[in-house]
Amino acid sequence: MVDAHAAVEGFRPSSNGLPFTNDFPRQPVLKINLPGVGPVPIGDASRGLCGGMIYTTRDLFEAKLTPPVLKEPPAPDSPLYRYIVRRLFDSFDIPRGVARYYQLMATPDADTTRSSLTLRGSGRITVVNEWPRVRLDLDRGVLAPLGVITLRSYDPFQLGSSHQLLAYAYEQRRTAVTLRVYDPNTPVERADDVTLSFDVAYPTGPVPIAHNLAIGGRRVRAFFLSRYRWANPLPALADT
């Protein structure tokens, strides 16, 4: 028996997600023209543009626009690519969003006690603080962008191991939750079957999060609801 459930009406990753996977060639994410220097390459697209892809997907869905029909990632000089890159940086919510990723990456899985002070683990932060916020959006019929933590590290250079997803439905049976998500790494033929599963009964942690994301076998330690503001995606469709 399902105790609670909700889904964003009309959304399916196979039809509303971008039809290509997050598999960009090795190339600069963008180039910045500096006076007297010329174009300076920034970043490496082959490390992924997942945040830009999920924000673009939500933008298109809320605008009631059909995603472009492309089997391969867009070329770096195309309007769609430039739009995805813009939304990628929006998804980072600098500096607050980056701080959230780092805080959770550095936080132990379970609660820890020092003297009389209990420090919240990533499990408690996920199921007590973040999951109710995600659930509230889904209950309202709103897509929920998630920042996903896959490693435990104090090294800020490991922030690139994080991932981003778009939650669109959930089911809860007693304390067990299954969250359905759009994963931009997963090919379209399997896109509707991607889930995160966890139990909220013991938030002191660790809280295992089972998943079938296409993230190279890495585990999911935690997630949080990302800050999102809609942007007009029409410029992205200029040449599609």
Q: Is 110's pLDDT higher than 60? A: yes
161, amino acid identity: S
Domain boundaries, the chain: 4-237
pLDDT tens digit sequence for 112-132: 887 778 889 999 999 999 999
Lowest mean pLDDT among 24-38, 44-58, 75-89, 125-139: 24-38
Q: Per DSSP, which regions of the chain are E strands?
A: 4-7, 30-34, 38-42, 112-114, 117-119, 144-149, 163-173, 176-182, 195-199, 210-211, 222-225
42 forms beta bridges with 30
Place 1 in a pLDDT band, splitting at 50, 70 and 90.
low
Q: State both tokens at 161.
A: 């191991």
Sorting pLDDT into bands at 50, 70 and 90, what band is 37? Answer: very low
**pLDDT of 34 over the 50 cut:** no
User: In the predicted model, what is the mean pLDDT of residues 82-97?
Assistant: 91
Which amino acid is it at 107? T
% of the chain at pLDDT higher than 90: 69
Dihedral angle over CA of 179, 180, 186, 187, nearest 10: 160
Residue 74 gets which letter from DSSP? P
Euclidean distance between CA atoms 195 and 150, whole angstroms: 15
Q: Is 70 exceeded by the pLDDT of residue 159? A: yes
Q: Which residue do the tokens 């919510």 mark?
A: 93
Whether 177 has a pLDDT exceeding 90, the answer reads yes
